[in-house]
């Protein structure tokens, strides 16, 4: 039996905060601890109470005065774009053609996919992200590399091969049948293996013919427990192009609705330029709009309207969208989210930000019993945050008088340097020896 007691200031959310004073929406324990056995949380409480559970072989991890939260969750990013972040000067369609469709061709080589997958998982972990939903490339080998790297670290990860059969270079196109067959094989191999979940991934309406959308519909019907992910209404030129390819559809959202893709396991990246009708369709079907603020600013796509989603009762989550997103850090992502909403006269309280990165995103994935909260029975995916990691933060923190203020400082000034430790199923991952270093030392031996 493997036991560890993780001590620090414990913070976990119970419900969506209804304002900056909503103290009932979270549990905060000043001298708290999380008791973990064999990768699962047994109990959380005061250190005094939790220390009664300690036995001779229980390890102690004293993180005082740092904060202990559930690991962050990122609901949309692209693993093959890890090395294409910061590609200059273009809006969506030109950016895809100039940079991304060139970069993704490298993933035909399994060795390249494996190398990037290792870097990708380690980057997520060093930013405190313990679960993510990613697109792989069109190559099945990229999916194998992705889930193998996640499995080696014990991470709960969601992903899938993109399907594209038009408007992409030859080397990145599959066919409707090939996309279907390869997706089926990958679902059989990976979905439900350990902590892996598969996401059926037609990239977007522009790169899938009606034939491929039919195949996506069949896959979704045959695998209702898999996730589905695509892109929707990110950019004006994209919307015009997509709707011209499906003239029978009422609007962009209706394209996906007609192919039976909208359900509560569907994640739709961006959803920026949406009519009330379209958001209402998401609300009806339970599909989730994914807010990707750093990406939306970087590509000049527009401003996600969270208030419209809330008003119409539609679900939304938050994500980095690396590599159009400019950081793996969910803290930096929420910093930009705050500004995007502020520009529209909307408010995102610090409690709401931290709720969104943890329990909110877990609810969007239907995984709230397993991840996103520090609660008995959940997986021990945990992030430890140091609000004084940078000298400017340390100086600013001297004047902070409330938890809300501390969280806002973390979000506004913080990045991976504030992640003091990250636990995946109870195992410390940030301070472990990086894999690349291990390999080098093995070669020397």
Decide whether 97 or 178 has the Cβ nearer to ligand GUN. Answer: 97
202 lines the binding site for Zn ion (CB under 5 A)? no
Question: Out of ligand GUN, Zn ion, none, which partner does residue 293 contact, by CB within 5 to 8 A per kind?
Answer: none
Question: Out of ligand GUN, Zn ion, none, which partner does residue 203 contact, by CB within 5 to 8 A per kind?
Answer: ligand GUN
269 lines the binding site for Zn ion (CB under 5 A)? yes
153 lines the binding site for ligand GUN (CB under 6 A)? no
The distance from CA 298 to its chain's CA centroid, rounded to whole angstroms, is 18
Question: Out of Zn ion, ligand GUN, none, which partner does residue 165 contact, by CB within 5 to 8 A per kind?
Answer: none
Question: Rg of the Cα trace of the chain?
Answer: 21
Please pick, from the candidates 7, 63, 78, 197, the single residue that binds ligand GUN as defined by CB under 6 A: 78
Give the H/E segment covering residue 131: strand 129-135
Q: Which residues of 372-396 are buried (b: 16+ CB within 10 A; e: fewer)?
A: bbbbeebbbbbbbbbbbbbeebeeb
How many other β-carbons are positioned within 10 Å of the β-carbon of residue 18? 12
Q: 100: which 2 tokens? A: 């991304």
Would you tell me the crossing angle of helices 435-444 and 110-126 to the nearest 10 degrees? 120
324 lines the binding site for ligand GUN (CB under 6 A)? yes
Per-residue binder mask for ligand GUN (CB under 6 A), 29-68, x = binder = ----------------------------------------
In angstroms, give the least distance from the CB of 234 to ligand GUN: 5
Distances (CA, A) of 95 to 73, 203, 207, 301: 26, 15, 15, 12
295 lines the binding site for ligand GUN (CB under 6 A)? yes
Is residue 109 a contact partner of residue 144, using CB atoms and an 8 Å limit?
no
76 lines the binding site for ligand GUN (CB under 6 A)? no
Decide whether 140 or 269 has the Cβ nearer to Zn ion. Answer: 269
Please pick, from the candidates 74, 103, 141, 234, the single residue that binds ligand GUN as defined by CB under 6 A: 234
100 lines the binding site for ligand GUN (CB under 6 A)? yes
Q: What is the C-alpha to C-alpha distance for residues 143 and 440, in angstroms, rounded to an integer?
A: 26
Strands 419-424 and 382-385: antiparallel
DSSP 3-state assignment of 33? strand
Q: What is the C-alpha to C-alpha distance for residues 316 and 288, in angstroms, rounded to an integer?
A: 5
DSSP state of 251: S
Give the H/E segment covering residue 163: strand 162-163
Is residue 135 a contact partner of residue 79, using CB atoms and an 8 Å limit?
yes
Decide whether 237 or 440 has the Cβ nearer to ligand GUN. Answer: 237
From 41-49, 92-100, 177-185, 380-388, give the range in contact with ligand GUN by CB under 6 A: 92-100
Q: Write down the residue that tokens 């930000």 correspond to.
A: 353
Residues 346-375 that bind ligand GUN (CB under 6 A): none
In angstroms, give the least distance from the CB of 265 to ligand GUN: 19
Decide whether 138 or 324 has the Cβ nearer to ligand GUN. Answer: 324
Question: Out of ligand GUN, Zn ion, none, which partner does residue 100 contact, by CB within 5 to 8 A per kind?
Answer: ligand GUN
Residues 309-328 that bind Zn ion (CB under 5 A): 321
In angstroms, give the least distance from the CB of 379 to ligand GUN: 29
DSSP 3-state assignment of 444? helix
Q: What is the C-alpha to C-alpha distance for residues 273 and 290, in angstroms, rounded to an integer?
A: 13
Question: Out of Zn ion, ligand GUN, none, which partner does residue 234 contact, by CB within 5 to 8 A per kind?
Answer: ligand GUN
DSSP state of 433: P
Q: What is the C-alpha to C-alpha distance for residues 15 and 37, in angstroms, rounded to an integer?
A: 26
In angstroms, give the least distance from the CB of 76 to Zn ion: 6
Q: How many residues sit in the footprint of ligand GUN (CB under 6 A)?
A: 11
In angstroms, give the least distance from the CB of 237 to ligand GUN: 12
The distance from CA 40 to its chain's CA centroid, rounded to whole angstroms, is 21
Question: Out of ligand GUN, Zn ion, none, which partner does residue 253 contact, by CB within 5 to 8 A per kind?
Answer: none
Q: How many residues sit in the footprint of Zn ion (CB under 5 A)?
A: 2
Is residue 197 a contact partner of residue 133, using CB atoms and an 8 Å limit?
no
Is residue 253 a contact partner of residue 282, using CB atoms and an 8 Å limit?
yes
160 lines the binding site for Zn ion (CB under 5 A)? no
In angstroms, give the least distance from the CB of 415 to ligand GUN: 21
Is residue 232 a contact partner of residue 269, using CB atoms and an 8 Å limit?
yes
Per-residue binder mask for ligand GUN (CB under 6 A), 174-203, x = binder = -----------------------------x
Decide whether 29 or 267 has the Cβ nearer to Zn ion. Answer: 267
Q: Which residues bind ligand GUN (CB under 6 A)?
A: 78, 92, 96, 100, 203-204, 231, 234, 295, 321, 324
Q: Which residues bind Zn ion (CB under 5 A)?
A: 269, 321
């Amino acid at each position: 039996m493997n036991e560890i007691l993780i001590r620090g200031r414990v913070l976990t959310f119970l419900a969506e905060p209804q304002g900056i004073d909503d103290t009932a929406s979270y549990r905060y324990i000043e001298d708290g601890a999380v008791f973990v056995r064999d990768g699962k949380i047994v109990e959380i409480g005061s250190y005094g109470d939790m220390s009664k559970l300690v036995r001779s072989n229980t390890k102690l991890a004293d993180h005082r005065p740092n904060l202990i939260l559930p690991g962050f969750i990122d609901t949309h990013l692209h693993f093959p774009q890890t090395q294409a972040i910061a590609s200059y000067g273009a809006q969506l369609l030109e950016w895809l053609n100039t940079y991304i469709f060139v970069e993704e061709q490298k993933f035909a080589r399994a060795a390249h996919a494996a190398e990037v997958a290792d870097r990708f998982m380690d980057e997520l972990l060093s930013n405190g992200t313990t679960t993510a939903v990613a697109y792989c490339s069109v190559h099945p080998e990229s999916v194998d590399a992705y889930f193998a790297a996640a499995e080696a670290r014990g991470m709960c990860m969601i992903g899938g091969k993109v399907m594209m059969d038009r408007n992409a270079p030859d080397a990145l196109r599959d066919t409707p049948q090939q996309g279907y067959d390869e997706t089926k094989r990958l679902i059989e191999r990976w979905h439900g293996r350990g902590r892996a979940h598969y996401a059926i991934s037609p990239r977007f309406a522009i790169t899938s013919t009606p034939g491929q959308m039919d195949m996506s519909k069949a896959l979704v019907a045959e695998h209702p427990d898999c996730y589905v992910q695509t892109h929707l209404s990110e950019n004006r030129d994209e919307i015009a192009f997509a709707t011209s390819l499906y003239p029978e559809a009422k609007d962009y959202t209706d394209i996906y609705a007609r192919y039976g893709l909208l359900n509560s396991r569907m994640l739709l990246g961006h959803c920026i330029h949406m009519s009330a009708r379209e958001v209402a369709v998401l609300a009806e079907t339970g599909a989730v709009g994914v807010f990707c603020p750093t990406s939306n600013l970087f590509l000049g796509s527009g401003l996600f309207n969270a208030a419209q989603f809330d008003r119409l009762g539609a679900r939304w989550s938050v994500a980095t969208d690396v590599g159009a997103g400019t950081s793996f850090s969910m803290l930096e992502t929420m910093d930009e989210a705050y500004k995007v909403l502020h520009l529209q006269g909307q408010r995102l309280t610090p409690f709401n930000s931290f709720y969104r990165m943890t329990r909110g995103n877990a609810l969007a994935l239907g995984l709230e019993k397993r991840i996103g909260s520090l609660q008995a029975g959940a997986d021990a995916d945990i992030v430890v945050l140091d609000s004084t990691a940078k000298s400017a933060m340390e100086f600013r923190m001297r004047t902070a008088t409330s938890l809300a203020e501390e969280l806002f400082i973390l979000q506004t000034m913080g990045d991976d340097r504030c992640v003091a430790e990250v636990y995946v199923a109870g195992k410390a991952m940030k301070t472990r020896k990086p894999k690349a270093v291990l390999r080098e030392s093995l070669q020397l031996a």
